[in-house]
């Protein structure tokens, strides 16, 4: 058979699409398996060879599982909303939908060429109204729910209203923004607007005041990674911290469940650890500090209550509401200046910046036990969104507090010495206090305790003396859910007397309106402010923000189960069948974004009884990155002459990235180089042995580094099956590795050899050796696929084909199963071979060859037979023959009589599987 890969691949791609080979329907007679790739954002640059790495792996696994008899759901779609399309729209005036759809078409074309077995009938695009209807719907449900800490789940807000009507806030333990208390009578006495304001404190989707990165020039809030050193990454415009009303999702209510849920997941330990740190559970206490000459009380959060006696000052976050209360007029000016300065720093910069800055407020708190006055300072190392936004500073124990005290000359108070602590015993530091007047030190009970016990003791003390309470904090913040952008899901919200109200569900989807420009309005409103008639039928104005990128990707995996359902996000029965994702493959960059948001979103829908599983992704694999392998040419400074790598040190040169597509095995194609850019048209070269050798480096694959390799080019040159095998051959799936086409010829030759086995097929019975070769492959493939070491599978194939070729095996009973084994990896070729063997149907659902261990054990053993220790002849016997039987056969062998001559054997020594020695 000839291996004309381009004809073969085109033929089977057409066949699959014409016959809907990969169409999947729910089928209760077969076990299900759900494999998902993180769906791509279709960028203008198209796919490079790094993108399909994970997709090829999941496709191999999906095809393998299908052969194994599973009903495999393996869908694909597009994360179609996003910033780049909108930026492009601003620059060119092209509607983001137009460019996005164009990019999607290109992606689909590229994906089709690689031969993926997706069920395209299930394709979703997050920007389509039929899809985002369910994103909006979920948002409305979150708006209409609160979180009950006792039942540990989300409940309809009506239940909370009913509780308020009967008992006010008494007996409530619910997630909220601020702790507030009122009676049933007080609730009933409030106006509708007041009641709505109160409910906002509890809703899971709520409008909250939060600090955001505000970029006035761009007219939008920016995410942390869009800001660098106080400037917008795009455009370099100033960004400041601003308190703004934004839609938020109360993810923090789910912190404990997001943490404990990790235990049951088959994810890598490092990914789980990243999520654990992000969620950041911290057990400590809140302690109340009264303010001198005032009724105000500042509460601090500490994990080290045992250090309470070492507090020598307090620090407020610059945004703390107490700043204005406490600052005395004498210090006001200085404080204001400091607050202005900190607005320029993002939170991330505040955390990483180790420089000490701060101002004194002029105010004092009273130590709750010693009753000493404690100066209150402001500094940006205290973050407003964590704990209470205020700390008790213990410079003797905490390094940041120490740096602060040291910088500003504040006292560093020794603390009671715990057993494993590093400070002085209480007797010594008691005397070192300046003023013992009024000091009530009752801390001996901590002396000699371990830190753990001291913390426990102190927690009891605080509780018993009503100084505060035990408190667990989480670092996980509520997610800011609005963007002042155009290309996103509109919020199904309208405003009446300034209060937000939900649109009725029947009115969903609320479609994204047209606008004349994709920019903020003159008065600084988001782009939706330009839309005509952007109001409800009753004339109430609609929300102008849109949802962020992660909205559409949070529940997409559910929609694939039932993508066209106009009545529900997912039909109950279909959800019961597919349940959740058995295997999710994608990049690590989503560890704390998408993978937290979607777990939260899923848990919320689970609480409402809409879906049947509490976690979305059972097993998760992070594929490594394929890095680019860049090439360089060396231009002699101030000339247009380029010198080859080996000679470059003799000149003063500048290294310039050169397009890897005009370099082959590090040798530059000189003519192509001259054509590449006008400035190189007149280039001259200093060669080595008649060739120009380029330098190389492994870097990120990126357009700007000219090291992008397009899979289309590889497919045209070698075929998709070679590309698939080669990407897997590069190394273990989870490792990052550079793209290097050096080995690709070898992989391609392997496929040609594979095809060669199918010439002159016979139906002779295979030998045990041939069965052994086949079953060794089955075994190695099974192990390789199940452990996602697809590179070992490719090597196993190569060994197998070499062995079969060496024995000139052309037996159908070996070659037929061999085609099925190849099918997950090189599906086009496998189909062609299958047809060549006389089959009418697609190979896709052929049962996977079963491993039969019996072929792997040696059937016969070659015994050397010795006489008085000298080997005289060989005897081949079945491997399972027992010792007595071996002895009998050996003695009755005609050659034995020959070597014994006349002698009688005295003793026969048999070591089973090894030797026979006859002593005479
Ligand atoms: C006194 C103390 C003494 C503290 C000591 C630590 C060590 P985690 O583990 O991250 O929860 N803290 C509290 N709120 C803060 C805020 N908004 N911004 C910055 N720091 C804050 O850390 C909790 C500890 O971080 C708290 O315990 C508090 O300092 C500080 F030897 O209180 B500690």
Q: What is the pLDDT of residues 52-80, one digit of tens each?
A: 999 999 999 999 999 999 999 999 999 99
DSSP 855-915: GTS-SEEEEEEEETTEEEEEEEEETT--HHHHHHHHHHSHHHHHHHTTPPPSEEEEETTTE
Q: List phi, psi (to 5°) of 335.
A: -65, -45
User: pLDDT per residue over 621-630, tens digit each?
Assistant: 999 989 999 9
| SS3 at position 383 | coil
Say what the pLDDT of residue 306 is.
87
CB 861 within 8 A of CB 879: yes
CB-ligand 1 contact for 302 (6 Å cutoff): yes
Mutate to test the pocket of ligand 1, among 382, 386, 462 (most ligand atoms within 8 A of CB): 386
Residue 422 pLDDT greater than 70, yes or no? no
Mutate to test the pocket of ligand 1, among 358, 398, 414 (most ligand atoms within 8 A of CB): 398
Mean pLDDT, rounded, for 438-459:
68
- Please give the distance, rounded to the nearest whole angstrom, from the Cα atom of residue 398 to the centre of ligand 1: 8
- Please give the distance, rounded to the nearest whole angstrom, from the Cα atom of residue 391 to the centre of ligand 1: 7
Mean pLDDT, rounded, for 111-124:
97
Among 160, 747, 214, 767, which residue's Cα sits nearest to residue 480?
A: 214
Angle at 552 between CA 547 and CA 554, to 5 degrees: 110
More confident residue, 833 or 223: 833
User: pLDDT per residue over 500-527, tens digit each?
Assistant: 999 999 999 999 999 999 988 888 889 9
Mean pLDDT, rounded, for 355-380:
92
User: pLDDT per residue over 771-794, tens digit each?
Assistant: 999 999 999 999 999 999 999 999
Q: Please count the residues of the chain.
A: 920
898: annotated binding-site residue? Answer: no
Say what the pLDDT of residue 468 is.
95
User: pLDDT per residue over 462-497, tens digit each?
Assistant: 999 999 999 999 999 899 999 899 999 999 999 998
Highest mean pLDDT (candidates 397-411, 452-466, 536-550): 536-550
CB-ligand 1 contact for 304 (6 Å cutoff): yes
User: pLDDT per residue over 586-598, tens digit each?
Assistant: 988 888 889 999 9
Say what the pLDDT of residue 443 is.
56
Say what the pLDDT of residue 420 is.
41
Q: Measured between alpha carbons, how far is 316 from 325 in angstroms, rounded to an integer?
A: 12
CB-ligand 1 contact for 299 (6 Å cutoff): no
Q: Is 824 left (phi over 0), alpha (psi -120 to 50) or beta?
A: alpha
Say what the pLDDT of residue 15 is.
98
CB-ligand 1 contact for 307 (6 Å cutoff): yes
Say what the pLDDT of residue 114 is.
97
Say what the pLDDT of residue 439 is.
32
Residue 427 pLDDT greater than 50, yes or no? no
User: pLDDT per residue over 408-418, tens digit each?
Assistant: 999 887 664 44
Torsion of CA 161, 165, 171, 175, to 10 degrees: 20
Mean pLDDT, rounded, for 370-397:
91
Mean pLDDT, rounded, for 139-144:
98
Say what the pLDDT of residue 225 is.
66
- Please give the distance, rounded to the nearest whole angstrom, from the Cα atom of residue 395 to the centre of ligand 1: 12
For the sheet with 620-622, list strands across it: 71-73, 32-37, 583-586, 620-622
Mean pLDDT, rounded, for 349-362:
89
| SS3 at position 64 | helix
Residue 432 pLDDT greater than 60, yes or no? no
Percent of the chain clearing pLDDT 90 (strictly above): 74
Percent of the chain clearing pLDDT 70 (strictly above): 96
For atom 8 of ligand 1, the residue with the nearest CA is 282
pLDDT bracket for residue 83 (50, 70, 90): confident
Cα 200 to Cα 15, 310, 603: the distances in Å are: 56, 39, 21
User: pLDDT per residue over 678-736, tens digit each?
Assistant: 999 999 999 999 999 999 999 988 888 999 889 999 999 999 999 999 999 999 999 98
For atom 11 of ligand 1, the residue with the nearest CA is 282
Say what the pLDDT of residue 91 is.
84
Say what the pLDDT of residue 425 is.
39
More confident residue, 195 or 877: 195
Q: Measured between alpha carbons, how far is 479 from 595 in angstroms, rounded to an integer?
A: 13
User: pLDDT per residue over 838-847, tens digit each?
Assistant: 999 999 999 9
Mean pLDDT, rounded, for 141-147:
98
| SS3 at position 837 | coil
Q: What is the DSSP letter of 152?
A: T
- What is the bridge-based pairing of β-strands 231-232 and 227-228? antiparallel
Residue 451 pLDDT greater than 80, yes or no? no
Residue 768 pLDDT greater than 70, yes or no? yes
CB-ligand 1 contact for 285 (6 Å cutoff): no
- Please give the distance, rounded to the nearest whole angstrom, from the Cα atom of residue 301 to the centre of ligand 1: 7
CB 910 within 8 A of CB 883: yes
CB 502 within 8 A of CB 508: no
Mean pLDDT, rounded, for 314-339:
94
- Please give the distance, rounded to the nearest whole angstrom, from the Cα atom of residue 204 to the centre of ligand 1: 27
């Amino acid at each position: 058979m000839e291996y004309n890969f381009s004809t073969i691949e085109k033929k089977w791609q057409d066949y699959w699409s014409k016959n809907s080979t990969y169409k999947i329907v729910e089928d209760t007679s077969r076990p299900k398996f759900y494999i998902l790739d993180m769906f791509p954002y279709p960028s203008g640059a198209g796919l490079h060879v790094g993108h399909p790495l994970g997709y090829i792996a999941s496709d191999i696994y999906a095809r393998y599982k299908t052969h194994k008899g599973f009903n495999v759901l393996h869908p694909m779609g597009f994360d179609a909303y996003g910033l780049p399309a909108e930026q492009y729209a601003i620059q060119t005036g092209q509607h983001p939908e137009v460019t996005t759809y164009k990019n999607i078409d290109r992606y689909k074309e590229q994906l089709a060429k690689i031969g993926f077995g997706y069920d395209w009938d299930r394709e979703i695009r997050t920007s389509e109204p039929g899809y985002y209807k369910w994103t909006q719907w979920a948002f409305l449900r979150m708006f209409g729910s609160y979180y009950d800490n006792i039942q540990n789940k989300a409940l309809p807000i009506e239940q909370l209203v009913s509780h308020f009507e009967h008992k006010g806030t008494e007996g409530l333990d619910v997630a909220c923004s601020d702790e507030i208390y009122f009676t049933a009578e007080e609730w009933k006495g409030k106006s509708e607007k007041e009641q709505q304001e109160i409910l906002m404190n509890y809703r899971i989707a709520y409008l909250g005041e939060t600090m955001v990165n505000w970029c006035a020039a761009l007219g939008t809030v920016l995410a942390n990674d869009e800001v660098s050193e106080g400037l917008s990454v795009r455009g370099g415009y100033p960004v400041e911290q601003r308190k703004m009303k934004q839609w938020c999702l109360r993810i923090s209510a789910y912190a404990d469940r997001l943490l404990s849920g990790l235990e049951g997941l088959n994810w890598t330990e490092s990914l789980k650890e990243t999520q654990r740190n992000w969620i950041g559970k911290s057990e400590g206490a809140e302690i109340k500090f009264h303010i001198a000459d005032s009724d105000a009380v500042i509460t601090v959060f500490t994990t080290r209550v045992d250090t309470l006696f070492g507090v020598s000052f307090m620090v407020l976050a610059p945004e703390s509401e107490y700043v204005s209360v406490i600052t005395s007029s004498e210090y006001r000016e200085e404080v204001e200046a400091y607050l202005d300065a900190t607005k320029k720093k993002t939170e991330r910069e505040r955390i990483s910046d180790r420089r000490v800055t701060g101002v004194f407020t002029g105010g004092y708190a009273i130590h709750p036990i010693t009753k000493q006055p404690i100066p209150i300072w402001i500094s940006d190392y205290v973050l407003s969104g964590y704990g209470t936004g205020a700390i008790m500073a213990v410079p003797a124990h905490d390094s940041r507090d120490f740096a602060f005290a040291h910088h500003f000359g504040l006292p560093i108070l020794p603390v009671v010495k715990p057993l494993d602590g590093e400070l002085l015993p209480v007797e010594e530091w008691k005397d070192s206090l300046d003023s013992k007047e009024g000091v009530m030190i009752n801390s001996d009970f901590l002396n000699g305790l371990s830190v753990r016990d001291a913390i426990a003791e102190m927690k009891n003390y605080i509780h018993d003396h009503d100084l505060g309470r035990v408190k667990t904090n989480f670092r996980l913040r509520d997610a800011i859910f609005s963007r002042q952008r155009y290309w996103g899901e509109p919020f199904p919200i309208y405003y009446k007397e300034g209060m937000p109200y939900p649109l009725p569900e029947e009115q969903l989807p609320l479609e994204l309106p047209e606008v004349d420009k994709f920019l903020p309005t003159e008065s600084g409103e988001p782009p939706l402010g330009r839309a005509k008639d952007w109001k409800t039928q009753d004339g109430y104005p609609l929300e102008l923000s849109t949802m962020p990128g992660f909205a559409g990707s949070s529940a997409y995996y559910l929609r694939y189960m039932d993508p066209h359902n106009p009545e529900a996000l997912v039909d109950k029965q279909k959800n019961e069948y597919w349940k959740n994702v058995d295997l999710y493959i994608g990049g690590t960059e989503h560890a704390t974004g998408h993978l937290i948001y979607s777990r939260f979103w899923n848990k919320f829908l689970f609480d409402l009884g809409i879906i049947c599983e509490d976690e979305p992704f059972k097993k998760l694999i992070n594929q490594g990155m394929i890095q680019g392998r860049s090439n360089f040419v060396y231009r002699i400074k101030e000339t247009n002459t380029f010198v080859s790598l080996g000679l470059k040190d003799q000149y003063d040169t500048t290294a310039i990235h050169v397009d890897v597509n005009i370099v082959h095995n590090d040798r530059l194609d000189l003519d192509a180089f001259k054509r590449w850019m006008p400035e190189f048209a007149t280039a001259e070269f200093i060669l080595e042995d008649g060739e120009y050798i380029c330098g190389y480096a492994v870097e990120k694959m990126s357009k700007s580094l000219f090291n992008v390799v397009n899979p289309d080019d590889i497919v045209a040159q070698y075929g998709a099956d070679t590309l698939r095998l080669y990407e897997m051959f590069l190394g273990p799936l989870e490792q990052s590795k550079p793209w290097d086409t050096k080995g690709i010829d070898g992989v391609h030759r392997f496929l040609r050899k594979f095809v060669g086995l199918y010439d002159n097929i016979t139906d002779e019975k295979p030998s045990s050796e041939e069965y052994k070769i086949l079953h060794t492959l089955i075994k190695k493939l099974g192990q390789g696929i199940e452990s996602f070491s697809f590179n070992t599978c490719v090597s196993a194939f190569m060994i197998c084909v070499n062995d079969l070729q060496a024995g000139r095996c052309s037996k159908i009973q070996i070659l037929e199963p061999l085609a099925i084994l190849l099918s997950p990896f090189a599906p086009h070729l496998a189909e062609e071979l299958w047809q060549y063997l006389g089959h009418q149907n697609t190979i896709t659902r052929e049962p996977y060859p079963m491993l039969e261990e019996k072929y792997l054990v040696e059937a016969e053993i070659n015994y050397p037979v010795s006489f008085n220790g000298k080997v005289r002849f060989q005897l081949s016997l079945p491997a399972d023959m027992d010792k007595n039987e071996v002895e009998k056969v050996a003695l009755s062998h005609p050659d034995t009589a020959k070597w014994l001559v006349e002698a009688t054997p005295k003793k026969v020594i048999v070591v089973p599987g090894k030797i026979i020695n006859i002593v005479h």
